[in-house]
Amino acid sequence: MANINLLPWREEHRQEKRKEFAGVVVGVLVIGLFSVLAWGLWTNSRIDAQNSRNDFLKKGIAVLDEKVKAISELKIRRQQMLDRMEVILALQGNRADIVKIYDEFVRATPSGVYFIEMTRRAGSISLVGYAESNSRIAVLMRQLDSVQMLTEPNLTKVEADTMLGELGSRFELQVKVVQPSADKEA
């Protein structure tokens, strides 16, 4: 048989296969690189879109926070106004009470008893005065106890004082004030 040398042909065939393989590898690398680049661009555009949405939401939230702050300030001002109105209404309702209390003091004070100081704190009235005798102080306490707006007269101090005579006394007395509006509600 004849001797045919296929070695150069095989070598050429290998060279073609290597070139083909290198071309496929380069093609796959180019396609892979392009795919990675396209995926990166697409991902960045999605991130940018989401960031713009987030910025829009943050601006909206900031506007709403301002409105909430304004509303809370308005609520505080409203409550302050309501508190002031309540105080004014209470003062308006109790305005005549002091006149009634003074009127009751005038009616309950027996002759021979004189007040030099009257102090009102919260629900009580402190009195300092002079009496011609201790029996007049006792009459004063009984009459103050019979007044509807006043309760629990409490004599805190009695000292002899000759300003109104030999039997005269200087006294200090405390009386609790009953709120008439509370009685009406009850």
Q: With a threshold of 0.75, does the pTM exceed it? A: no
Per-domain boundaries in the chain: 88-185
Cα gap 50→109, rounded to integer Å: 85
Q: Residue 181: pLDDT above 70?
A: no
Q: In this predicted structure, what is the pLDDT of residue 106? A: 82
Cα gap 29→154, rounded to integer Å: 106
Q: Residue 11: pLDDT above 70?
A: yes
Q: In this predicted structure, what is the pLDDT of residue 180? A: 60
Higher pLDDT, 6 or 123: 123
Higher pLDDT, 84 or 122: 84
Q: In this predicted structure, what is the pLDDT of residue 21? A: 95
Specify whether the CB–CB gap between 114 and 140 falls below 8 A. Answer: no
Phi-psi region for residue 122, left (φ > 0), alpha (ψ -120 to 50) or beta? left
Pick the CATH number of 88-185 from 3.30.70.2830, 3.40.640.10, 3.40.50.2300, 3.40.50.720: 3.30.70.2830
Q: Residue 131: pLDDT above 60?
A: yes
Q: In whole numbers, what is the pLDDT of the chain averaged over residues?
A: 85
Cα gap 150→126, rounded to integer Å: 12
Cα-Cα end-to-end distance for the chain: 136
